[in-house]
């Protein structure tokens, strides 16, 4: 029995939205989404008010797992410096995947171009969680200006993701040295 037969139409639509919008962009058509999910348009509109609603739900459904996979566990006792470097090691590993197109949350924000779009709101909250993690670690590690360091780290994170996503560069061998310079300059232990 196939996975499609086991999952509900809602789950199939969420999965199709996650896969197709990441591969082909947020402007993917309703027909393609419904076809990939094996769901009629009528069923889609019974489950979601719009394609925007489907995209938002798809991003929201994956947000917690994304953040959990990226950040070290809460009970991770390593020093702040190592915890920050862990995030960049995770990002570097993710960027090596052959189908990597960049951080799906950054990609959605860039493609939507509308900070008021509900899916942009989901993406912004994910980015805020990562930035808040950087800020907390910077403060814990003794940074002189934790807010500035957090902003610098998310800039490096997003920039590396974007460049790797468009195949302009690879973060391999770049992230740890770059982040180390920032941590050293900020005085993070």
Distances (CA, A) of 73 to 67, 77, 141, 144: 10, 9, 17, 25
How many Cβ atoms from other residues are within 10 Å of residue 80's Cβ? Answer: 19
Q: What is the pLDDT of residue 1?
A: 40
User: What is the percent of the chain where pLDDT is above 70?
Assistant: 97
pLDDT(64) > 80: yes
Q: Render 81-97 in DSSP notation, one character per residue.
A: HHHHHHHHHHHHHHHTS
pLDDT(130) > 80: yes
pLDDT(128) > 70: yes
Question: pLDDT, tens digit, for every residue of 13-55?
Answer: 999 999 999 999 999 999 999 999 999 999 999 999 999 999 9
Average pLDDT estimate for 90-113? 95
The domains found in the chain, sorted by start residue, are 1-48 (1.10.10), 59-186 (1.10.357.10)
pLDDT category at 189 given cuts 50, 70, 90 is confident
pLDDT category at 2 given cuts 50, 70, 90 is very low
pTM for the whole structure: 0.92
Q: What is the pLDDT of residue 5?
A: 53
User: Rounded to an integer, what distance in angstroms lies between the CA atom of residue 21 and that of residue 5?
Assistant: 22
Q: What is the pLDDT of residue 152?
A: 98
pLDDT(12) > 90: yes
């Amino acid at each position: 029995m196939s996975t499609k037969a086991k999952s509900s139409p809602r789950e199939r639509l969420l999965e199709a939205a996650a896969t197709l919008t990441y591969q082909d962009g947020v402007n993917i058509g309703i027909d393609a989404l419904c076809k990939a999910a094996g769901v009629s348009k009528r069923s889609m509109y019974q489950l979601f008010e719009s394609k925007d609603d489907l995209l938002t739900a798809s991003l929201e459904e994956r947000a917690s797992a994304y953040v959990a996979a990226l950040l070290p566990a809460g009970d991770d006792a390593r020093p702040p410096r190592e915890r920050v470097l862990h995030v960049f090691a995770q990002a570097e590993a993710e960027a090596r995947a052959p189908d990597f197109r960049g951080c799906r949350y950054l990609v959605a924000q860039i493609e939507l171009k509308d900070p008021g779009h509900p899916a942009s709101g989901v993406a912004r909250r994910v980015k805020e969680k990562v930035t808040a993690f950087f800020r907390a670690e910077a403060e814990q590690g003794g940074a002189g200006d934790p807010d500035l360091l957090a902003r610098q780290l998310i800039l490096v994170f997003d920039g590396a993701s974007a460049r790797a996503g468009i195949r302009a560069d690879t973060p391999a061998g770049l992230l740890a040295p770059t982040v180390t310079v920032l941590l050293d300059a900020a005085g993070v232990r």
